[in-house]
Structure 1
Amino acid sequence: MSLRADATAGVGRFSRTERWVHRTTAALMGVCVTTAACLYVPQLAELVGRRELVVRIHEWAGLALPVPVLAGLASRAFRADLGHLNRFGPHDRTWLRAALHRDKRPASRPAGKFNAGQKLYASWIAGATLVMLGTGLMMWFTHLTPLLWRTSATFVHDWLALTIGIVLAGHIGMALADPEARRGMRTGKVSRDWAAREHPLWRP
């Protein structure tokens, strides 16, 4: 997707489809995390009650989680961004080294449309979602797999869920710290100054 200059509104960053995919996926992930907390945190479980209903909501939200991404594949802009997220270059290694050394100078963190941290997050959350879906299905359809598999799936599902919660909290925290990035996801546009500072290698 190219940088589309606009004298008053800045430059285009995300299409309507991309924003829909992000919002829908975030909503489904939020339901999964919330219902998981209600199932595993005793105080929340007592407060909410109706465990069977919470379990069903959790299962169906988890099953629907890949749907927005699959639907988004119909969008050329979304497919293009998946290509950007899937490619690592020398500048990404430079960005990661700067991040590890807490070097926040823009010149030390070259980035294209997505920086290396965003690429790693996208790859990790996509893989984690697939693992959660697979282990969740083994826990749901108990008659399809041996007991040992179900026990292992439960262990992986529970601990990965905790990890996802922590990573999502970090993702949300970084978004809250960057109003312009939130504007890009909310309206599809960002300021030219922000684009030049945070993503200097992003070109039309």
Structure 2
Amino acid sequence: MPLSADAPPTTARVRRFTRAERWVHRTTAALMGLCVLTAACLYVPQLAELVGRRDLVVRVHEISGVCLPLPVLAGLASRAFRADLGLLNRFGPHDRVWLRAALRRDRRPASRPAGKFNAGQKLYASWLAGAVLVMLGTGLLMWFTHLTPLMWRTSATFVHDWLALTLGVVLGGHIGMALADPEARRGLRTGRVGRDWAEREHPLWRP
């Protein structure tokens, strides 16, 4: 039975993520951070002047972008990681209930049923996977300019730039929500979370 938000914390902890899953998340986050930082240095004049060495920044941006899917591909060797991908890719009736409560800004735990991942996390993961693939494809079109017509490169640049801006906003929201939930961050750092937190935030999850 889920505990109330006012219930005293317990010392019992349950495993949420394996070492392989945490490695995939950290490596992906590091590569994404490099992409965002170098992109900012390329597009914000003040940062460009401060950093200089544009050719080096471009090269780091290109390499980190191409490497971005690699941690996920390597993580497929982990059974736990593959199981989590299956959960993230599966939406159920309880996810619709969670989304309706989120749209109403209803923060009561009982109104937001969730399994190991809630509906917001599933939508974020799906959107991010699609965005990374589009960014990779358009980035390659911009990188190998001699292989594609001018119209393709112009269109790729437009999509890449605007999607990058959107990606920055979404990542900012993701980081903000993580900062507001210390126990979720602890789960990604140590692999374990408090049982009371799990029962309150993910009542349908059976670790």
TM-score normalised by structure 2 residue count: 0.94
Structure 1 moving runs of 4+ over 4 Å:
none
Match of 2:66 in 1: 63
SS at match of 2:14: strand
Separation of aligned partners in 2, 1:153 and 1:109: 39
SS at match of 2:141: helix
1:73 partner amino acid: L
Query: When the two structures are aligned, how many residues end up with a matched partner?
Result: 198
Per-residue deviation, 1:145? 1.0
Separation of aligned partners in 2, 1:84 and 1:11: 18
| TM-superposition CA deviations, 1:142-191 (whole Å, max 9, x none) | 01111101000000000000000000000000000000000000000000
SS at match of 2:177: helix
Q: 2:80 aligns with which of 77, 80, 104?
A: 77
Separation of aligned partners in 2, 1:110 and 1:191: 18
Match of 2:18 in 1: 15
Identity %: 85
Q: 1:135 aligns with which of 115, 133, 138?
A: 138
SS at match of 1:102: coil
Separation of aligned partners in 1, 2:39 and 2:161: 9
TM-score normalised by structure 1 residue count: 0.96
Separation of aligned partners in 1, 2:48 and 2:147: 28
Separation of aligned partners in 1, 2:11 and 2:104: 37
CA RMSD across the alignment: 0.9
1:59 partner amino acid: E
Q: 1:166 aligns with which of 164, 169, 178?
A: 169
Separation of aligned partners in 2, 1:148 and 1:103: 47
In the alignment, structure 1 residue 146 sits paired with structure 2 residue 149: yes
Q: Greater relative contact order (Cα 8 A, min sep 6): structure 1 or 2?
A: 2
Per-residue deviation, 1:8? 5.2
Separation of aligned partners in 1, 2:127 and 2:28: 15
In the alignment, structure 1 residue 199 sits paired with structure 2 residue 202: yes
Separation of aligned partners in 2, 1:89 and 1:146: 44
Separation of aligned partners in 2, 1:9 and 1:93: 30
Match of 2:182 in 1: 179
Separation of aligned partners in 2, 1:162 and 1:36: 10
| TM-superposition CA deviations, 1:80-116 (whole Å, max 9, x none) | 0000000000000000000000000000000000000
SS at match of 1:190: strand
Structure 1 gaps of 5+ residues are 1-6
Per-residue deviation, 1:51? 0.3
Per-residue deviation, 1:9? 5.5
Separation of aligned partners in 1, 2:153 and 2:20: 37
